[in-house]
Amino acid sequence: MQRNIARVRLGIEQLVGNERRRIADRRVGLLAHPASVDHDLEHALDLLLRAGAKPTLLLGPEHGFMGEARDMEPVDGRALHPSGIPLKSLYGATEATLSPSPDDLRGLDALVVDLQDVGARYYTFVWTALLALRACRKAGIEMIVADRPNPLGGQIVEGAPQADGYLSFVGLKPVAVRHGMTVGELLSMAAAEEGLSAHLLVVKMAGWTRERLAFEVDAPWVMPSPNMPTPDTAIVYPGMCLVEGTEISEGRGTTRPFELVGAPKVDGVRLAARLSSHALPGVSFRPASFKPGFQKHKDETCGGVQLHVQDPRAFLPYRTGVAVLVALKAELGETFSWRHAPYEFVTDLPAIDLLTGSDAVRTMVDAGASLEDIATTWAEGEREFIEARRRFLLYE
């Protein structure tokens, strides 16, 4: 399929170009990761240095500033970056490590944030940024967000915001699963609700419009985390991340994480047939066999399926992910199991409830409810979120 590719000037390119006055000769911190690059693949740190900023602190979100850590793998608290600038992890072994401390921010004029999100509420980078924004208010400094495209575009919303009692590090604010917002927009929305707007400056992109998917912008794709290797992964992630809430492999430890799903006792042919019967838009299911290299079912041969997204615009990842849960439960019966191990620092709620935002999906899957009936549980929440987000949208 031939696509019209848009030239997008990224927020970081705007910041070190037209908006250079905001950082020149200022002592700044930088919250970033490997995907914090410009069109020439130069990292935000180098761009800030060239623009005359004085970076004195580097902060890394989940997976680390250098991006080497796997999901939920603690990163050492303090180190020196090869540049000699102090580096602190905002993802350690305890929940207390998720926010910068007052000492971390002391002496800074501003904190620059440049993080590539993937358009799903449970991807944790935006919540790291929100915690850092709260810390910036306490420190009396400004946060400057260099905005980036949402690889899923900014039009379609899927999945209801979380119910009361289900906020966590995979959703610190009530937000739809596929939210259709950029990091700058999400933080603007949260800042308005919490009285943080005076400490937030979003440097907008130029040239990005809401209908643009990852494949339709000219910005390079760099893995924002080890299991997000391609834009294809980002497209399926809002639904297939739900498999993290089960004891089924979501394909981590393979070359196609979140596109492959299965377990040793799954019959891939039958699972593909069950999923195909839902006539889900934009996607086909192929029986597959794979052997994860780590995590669930490591070194075991798994039967399952691979998702092949043939029309990214029509594809509904969240609905598809719930359909996968329904099909796996029907295929495995009583041997199907939800994950009960702690998940993102939460020990008293199942991971699947944190991901979906309530117990509704889990209890209805267990009861054998149809996909159509389950989908009715999030329809009203989608409509309410679309209305709530409207005044915070920064792009046409």
The model scores a pTM over 0.75: yes
First-last CA distance in the chain: 25
SS3 205: coil
Beta strands in 3-141 (DSSP E): 27-32, 54-60, 78-80, 86-89, 110-114
Closest CA to 143 of 106, 172, 102, 113: 113
Per-residue model confidence as pLDDT tens digits over 136-160: 999 999 999 999 999 999 999 999 9
Q: What is the pLDDT of residue 59?
A: 97
Continuous segment of H or E residues that includes residue 290: strand 283-290
Joined tokens for residue 28: 């700044």
Domain residue ranges of the chain, discontinuous segments joined by +: 11-225, 231-376
CATH number for the domain whose boundaries are 231-376: 3.90.1150.140
Q: Which CATH number is 11-225's, of 3.40.50.12170, 3.30.413.10, 3.40.350.10, 3.30.750.24?
A: 3.40.50.12170
Those residues with Cβ within 8 angstroms of residue 387's Cβ, 6 or more apart along the chain or in another chain: none
Q: Which amino acid does the sequence have at 172?
A: L
- Mean per-residue pLDDT for 219-241? 97
- Calculate what percentage of the chain has a pLDDT beyond 90: 96
Query: Does residue 74 carry a pLDDT above 70?
Result: yes
**Phi, psi values for residue 137, rounded to 5°:** -60, -45
Is 11-225's fold the same as 231-376's? no
**Phi, psi values for residue 322, rounded to 5°:** -65, -35
Distance CA 338, CA 178 (A): 22
Is residue 78 a contact partner of residue 87, using CB atoms and an 8 Å limit?
yes
Per-residue model confidence as pLDDT tens digits over 307-360: 999 999 999 999 999 999 999 999 999 999 999 999 999 999 999 999 999 999
Per-residue model confidence as pLDDT tens digits over 18-42: 999 999 999 999 999 999 999 999 9
Q: What is the DSSP string of 105-126?
A: HTT-SEEEEE----SBTT-THH
Continuous segment of H or E residues that includes residue 236: helix 231-240
Joined tokens for residue 317: 């990842």
